[in-house]
Amino acid sequence: MHIPDGFLSPQTYLPATGLAIGAWIWAARELRARLDETLIPRLAVTTALAYVLNLVMLPLPGGTSAHFIGIALLALLFGARLAFLAFSGMLALQTFVLGAGGLTALPVNALILGLAAGLTARGSFALLARWREAIAIVVSTWLSVMVAATLTAVVLGIQPMIARRPDGAPLFFPFGLEVTLPAILLPHALIGIAEAALTLILWRYARARQWLS
């Protein structure tokens, strides 16, 4: 659900850039503390899988796209901070190589898809895992998708309110929350179910090979 370049006002992407830089520094410290000869190949393989899942995009009328995210798997296996850092690198690669997203939208996409969704997956799993692990994985993955979808819809939907021409016409993204919320949330509610099932399968594969954080 990448936000394309040119859809966000400077009032949105400039503060997001500052916040993202701080979050990247925070995440890099975690990587430095945990760096060893086993972490990098495992993280690289899982990030590559998330990259592949992101390549198939279905354009949506709300100004974004629908596809698997993969952040929940990264967060569950490696923690939210490493997941955010790896996912940000993946988004940067997509921005510069494939033109998916955009440079000004990169910090916002990273904060929504990488940080917020990753923290949601890791936090909800920690709360639910005491009852049943499989349910915790499925629910936490679905929630991470829906949190990312909701934040994307809100960020896009408020653009007409915060950046207008003197005549009232939107300067950037033209549609409000009444368009973005249903257009983005409804398809991702279904995509989240499919991603949750896939994440559970991959989690069990990773656990059998002792990849868990």
| More confident: 54 or 198 | 198
Q: Give the up-direction half-sphere exposure of residue 59: CA atoms within 13 A in the CB hemisphere.
A: 4
Q: Band of the pLDDT at 91, cuts 50, 70, 90?
A: very high
pLDDT at 62 over 60: no
Comparing CA positions, the residue from 184, 36, 200, 186 lying closest to residue 134 is 200
* Residue 147 or 205, more confident: 147
* Residue 211 pLDDT level (bands cut at 50, 70, 90): low
Using the predicted structure, report yes or no on whether residue 71 has a pLDDT greater than 90.
yes
Who wins on pLDDT, 206 or 18? 18
Cα–Cα nearest to 87, from 155, 159, 171, 144: 144
How many Cα atoms sit within 13 Å of 92 on the Cβ side? Answer: 9
How buried is residue 18: exposed, middle or buried, by Cβ count under 10 Å (0-12/13-18/19+)?
exposed
In this predicted model, which residue has the larger pLDDT, 109 or 100? 109
- Whether pTM > 0.75 for this model: the answer is yes
**Domains of the chain from N-terminus onward:** 10-208 (1.10.1760.20)
Calculate mean pLDDT across residues 138-159: 95
- pLDDT at residue number 205: 83
